[in-house]
Structure 1
Amino acid sequence: MQQGTLLEMTVLKLFGIVLFCGLLSPSQEVLSALSCAVSPVAMQNALSKTILQSRLFQRHLQGLVLPSILGNGGLLSAPTSITGLHLVRSQFPRLSVALLSGIGVQLSITAELELQGNCLVGLLSDLIDISVAVNITANIKCTNFESGTVQVVIEDCLCILGAIKINLLSGLLSLPVNEIVLNQLTATLPGLLCPVVDIVVNLVNIHLMSTLNVMTPVGTAGTIHYHLASLPFTSGLFLELDLDGVVQDVGGSIIPHDSSPSALPLLLDNLLVMGVRQGFLNAVVVLMFQIPSQNLTCAPGAFSGASELQEAITTLAPTECSVCHGSHPLSIQLALAGNPLILLEENQATLKLSVLIRVFVNLDGSILNLLLLKADLGLNVHVSIAGGKLVLGLSLGSTSISLESSDVGISNISMLQPHCSSLLAERLVPLLNGVLEVGIPLPNVLDISLLKADIQILAGLLLILV
C-alpha cells in the first residue's frame, strides 16, 4: 500500500491543520473579520471533490497488497492458499458527510474493491478474482488550537465489508474457500484501509486549509491575510468558521480593525452564509483610500457649475477675486480628511467621508488662500460580488459644507453648497469608485463558488449567501 512519500508525511506534520472539526463551545464569542456557516451539503461537495473527483482516495489505494490467505482444509476439503492478492481497481466510490454536534465530522466512504491473486486449492492452481464492497466510516476531530493551527485526530475508524464475490478462472469454488476469504478480509482490510483514509484526510485538510489561510493583494495598496481565528465549531446543522483578516499596507503597517461579535442567521437552503463585519470593511477601505490630493482649476467645463462657483466666490470677495480672472484663475485642491467610515444598517450601507476643499489663487508664486471648506459626505454604497471579490460602488447622498478658514474674510458660504456638491459628485466620487473597483478579495472558503451569491445587509454585518 502506498503510504505517501516522505515529503508528504513531513508536510503533514508541519501543517496538520484540519478544518472540519469540533469545539465544545460556539465560536460566536471570537472577534474576527468574518464568519462562515457551512452546510453539510457544502461540506460533502467539498470533500467529494477533493477526495473522489480528484481521485486522491483511489490513487492512495493503488499498490494495496494483502497478506496471503491460508486455509488448512478439513477432512473433506483440500488445503487452500491465496498469494499475491492485490488491488486491481476501485469502483463506484461514494462519499457522505454528517456533522456531529460539538464533536466534528463523520466521513463515510463506500467503494467496491476488485482484488486479484493466485489461488492453490489442493493441487489445482488458478487465478482468483475477489470483489468486495467496503464502507469506511471515520470521525474527524481537531484539538490544540494555537496561532491558527490545530492537530488532526481521526477517531473510531470503522471498516465494514459488504457483499463479496469470488471467481476462479476454472469456475471451481468450494464453500470453505468463501469462508476463508471472508474471515481473512474481515480481519485484515480495516487495518489497511483506515491508514489510507488517515493520509487522505490530512492531505485534503491541507488543500482546504489553503482556501482559508491565504494572503491576497488589494490592488497595489496592500494585502489582506486571512487565517482561522479559532477552532471551527460544529452543530448538527452547520460548520462555523471564524476568520481574521490582517490588513497591511505596502509599507508593512497593519491597519487595525474592531470587531463586535454577531451571530449568523440560519442557513436555511443556502450552502454558505458568510458574514463580513463592519470594522473589517472599514480597515480595508482605509487601505484603499490612500489617495493623494487632487488639484484642478475652476475653469469653465472643468465640472458642472465651475463657472457658477467662480462667480459665487467672486461675489463673496470681489476685491480679492478681481485678480482671479484672466491669467490668474481659481485653483481647487481636494484632500481626504480623516478615515472613511462604513455604516451597515438594516438593508443599507453608507460611507461617511470628510473632504477638505481648498480654493486658492497663485499670484506669480504667492498663494492666496480664499477658502478652506470641509465637506462631510454621506455616500450611498452599492455592494456586489464579482470574480470572488466584494465590490463597493458609491453615489453621493448628502453633503454638508462648513467653513474652516478664509484668508480674505469670507464668512457666509451658504451659496456655495450646490456648487461644491456638483464638484464632489463629478470629480471626487468617480475617483473613489475607480479605487474601489479593484474589489475586496474574499477567501475561497472550501472552494465554494461565490458566482451566484446574494447579498443582505444587517446592522454591523454584511451577509453573502450562496
Structure 2
Amino acid sequence: MAVLIRMTIAGKSFIGGNLEITVASNLTANNKLLKDALGTPKFSSENCHFSLVSVKTNLPSSMLPKVLNKFLDNTLQKMLPGLLCPAVDAVLDLVNAKLSAMTSEISLGTAGTLQYALLNQPTTNETFIQLDLKTVLHQKEGDEIDLPTDELPLTSLPPKKEAATQLILSANFLSAELQVMQESFSLDITDNMVLGLPPLVTSMLGTVIPEIAGALPPSQPLVIAMREAKPPLVTITPEAGFVHFFNTAEFLVSPSGSAPESLFVLDVHSDLKARFVVKEEKLCISLVLDSLAEMALASSSIGTFDVLPLKGILANIIHVAYMPSINEALQGGIPLPNLLGIKYQQAEISMSENALVLNVPVAEA
C-alpha cells in the first residue's frame, strides 16, 4: 500500500493568532491477505513506513528560523507515524468486518443452509485479488451435502473484464444447491392440474395403451406421483445451461374413499433448459422442459407394456403441471457471496464450460 497523505494541523501560534501547518507525506505498508480458521479472508499490515515530503506553515518564513524548522520536522517525523500507521490498521479492520459477513450461515428457507468460506489462501497480482471459495451446504436435518472441490482453470474461463468483479459459479455448486432443495420437487399431479389435456382417468390410459385396457379399473381418477430418484444434475456449455431431473412417475388409481393403488412406475429422465438471472442479490433459476430424454418401465402391477405411447402425454403433463411447481420452489434463489458489499444486481451473466460467469461492474466512487 502506498498512500500520499495531505493534512493540515491547526492550533495557536506561539506569537498569537492561528497557526496552520500543511503536511504532505508518503505512507507505505505491506498488507497480507490470508484466511483465518473459519475460512474468512483477512487483511493484516506490517512494515508501516512514513516519510515527510513537505511542511508548510501560514507564518512568514522569516519568523521560522532553521533550527525551528528542523525541530518541527523532527517532531512530525516522530508523532505522525504513531497517528497514521494505526489508521491503516483501522481501515483494514473495517474491511475485515465486511469480509467476515461472507462466512455467515445463510438460510435456504425450509431446505437447509448455505455457508461460504475460503478454499485456499488468496492470490493477488497487480490488477485483482483471486479468492477460491468453497461452499458448505446443509440439509434441514443438518446433513452436509458432499460437494466436489472445484478448481476451474482460469484459462478455460472468459477473461475478466476491466473495472469488474468476476464471480464464477461451477455447475457442481449449482447441482449441490438443487440437491438441498430436492424434497421441494415432489408433486402429486391430479386431473384438475392439467387443464386442456386429456382427463387423468384410467380409460385414457386404456386408449393410449390398448394392451393394458383389460387390466385397468374403468374410469377411475388417476394420480401421478412425481418423486426425485436421484439428485438433479446441472450442465453448462457456452451455448446453454441444462438441469437434468431423474424422477420416478408412479401412476396410481385413486378411487373416492379408498387408498390409492399403484398401477405402474416409470423411470423418467427430463432435460430442462435453464435461464439464469440475478434478483435481490440472489441467483434465480427458471426452467422449461426441453425433452424427455429417457423413459422406462420400472415396475408394474398390470403387466409389461410399451411405454413409448405415453411419452408425449407425460411430457405435456410435466410441462403443464410439474414445471410450474418446480419453478415456484426455485423462486427463493441462491444467495451469492457477500464480498465487501458487492452489488450483483447489475451483473452481466454468461456461460462457460461447466461454469456460470457473473461480471459485476465496479461502482464508481
Normalised TM-score (structure 2): 0.86
Match of 1:236 in 2: 126
Are residues 1:457 and 2:351 paired?
A: yes
Following superposition, the deviation at residue 360 of structure 1 comes to 2.1
SS in 1 for 2:132: strand
What are structure 2's unaligned runs of at least 5 residues?
361-365
Following superposition, the deviation at residue 221 of structure 1 comes to 1.3
SS in 2 for 1:355: strand
CA 1:244 to 1:260, structure 2 compared with 1: closer, same or farther past 3 Å? Answer: closer
Greater RCO between the two (CA within 8 Å, min separation 6)? 1
Please give the alpha-carbon distance, in whole angstroms, between the structure 1 residues aligned to 2:36 and 2:104.
18
Following superposition, the deviation at residue 188 of structure 1 comes to 3.0
> For 2:339, which of 438, 445, 466 is the aligned residue?
445
Q: Which amino acid aligns with 2:170?
A: R
Q: Which amino acid aligns with 1:194?
A: C
Following superposition, the deviation at residue 312 of structure 1 comes to 4.2
Counterpart contact for 1:343–1:460, Cα < 8 Å: yes
Deviation track 1:91-142 (CA, whole Å, cap 9, x = no partner) reads xxxxxxxxxxxxxxx24252323232452xxxx5554322222332222114
Higher Rg of the two aligned structures: 1
Counterpart contact for 2:238–2:351, Cα < 8 Å: yes
> For 1:424, which of 318, 322, 326 is the aligned residue?
318
Q: Which amino acid aligns with 1:427?
A: A
CA 1:151 to 1:401, structure 2 compared with 1: closer, same or farther past 3 Å? Answer: closer
Match of 2:245 in 1: 353
Are residues 1:174 and 2:174 paired?
A: no
Deviation track 1:237-294 (CA, whole Å, cap 9, x = no partner) reads 3210111110112221111111332123432314211111222111111112222742
Match of 1:320 in 2: 215
Counterpart contact for 1:383–1:390, Cα < 8 Å: yes
CA 1:224 to 1:372, structure 2 compared with 1: closer, same or farther past 3 Å? Answer: same
Are residues 1:248 and 2:138 paired?
A: yes
Please give the alpha-carbon distance, in whole angstroms, between the structure 1 residues aligned to 2:87 and 2:259.
79
Counterpart contact for 2:248–2:268, Cα < 8 Å: yes
Match of 1:210 in 2: 100
Q: How many residues align?
A: 351
Are residues 1:186 and 2:112 paired?
A: no
CA 1:362 to 1:255, structure 2 compared with 1: closer, same or farther past 3 Å? Answer: same
Following superposition, the deviation at residue 354 of structure 1 comes to 1.5
SS in 2 for 1:342: strand
Following superposition, the deviation at residue 173 of structure 1 comes to 2.1
Counterpart contact for 1:107–1:140, Cα < 8 Å: no
Please give the alpha-carbon distance, in whole angstroms, between the structure 1 residues aligned to 2:348 and 2:105.
25
What are structure 1's unaligned runs of at least 5 residues?
1-105
Q: Which amino acid aligns with 1:139?
A: N
Are residues 1:138 and 2:29 paired?
A: yes
CA 1:278 to 1:210, structure 2 compared with 1: closer, same or farther past 3 Å? Answer: same
Counterpart contact for 1:113–1:134, Cα < 8 Å: no
Q: Which amino acid aligns with 2:149?
A: S
Are residues 1:386 and 2:279 paired?
A: yes
Q: Which amino acid aligns with 2:346?
A: K
Following superposition, the deviation at residue 145 of structure 1 comes to 5.4
Deviation track 1:290-319 (CA, whole Å, cap 9, x = no partner) reads 2274223346x7344233875441233222
Match of 1:98 in 2: none
Counterpart contact for 1:361–1:367, Cα < 8 Å: yes
Following superposition, the deviation at residue 362 of structure 1 comes to 3.7
Match of 2:363 in 1: none
Following superposition, the deviation at residue 148 of structure 1 comes to 2.0
* RMSD, aligned CA: 2.7
Match of 1:337 in 2: 229
CA 1:457 to 1:309, structure 2 compared with 1: closer, same or farther past 3 Å? Answer: farther
Q: Which amino acid aligns with 1:418?
A: G
Q: Which amino acid aligns with 1:460?
A: N
Which stretch of the first structure deviates more once superposed, 338-347 or 170-179? 170-179
Following superposition, the deviation at residue 465 of structure 1 comes to 0.8
Following superposition, the deviation at residue 147 of structure 1 comes to 4.7
Match of 2:268 in 1: 375
Q: Which amino acid aligns with 2:182?
A: F
SS in 2 for 1:254: coil
Counterpart contact for 1:289–1:432, Cα < 8 Å: no
SS in 2 for 1:414: coil
Normalised TM-score (structure 1): 0.69
CA 1:409 to 1:174, structure 2 compared with 1: closer, same or farther past 3 Å? Answer: closer
Are residues 1:305 and 2:197 paired?
A: yes
Q: Which amino acid aligns with 2:87?
A: V
> For 1:257, which of 147, 170, 174 is the aligned residue?
147
SS in 2 for 1:420: helix
Counterpart contact for 1:336–1:355, Cα < 8 Å: yes
Q: Which amino acid aligns with 2:84?
A: L
> For 2:329, which of 435, 449, 455 is the aligned residue?
435
Deviation track 1:378-429 (CA, whole Å, cap 9, x = no partner) reads 1111111111111111000110321112211241222111110011111111
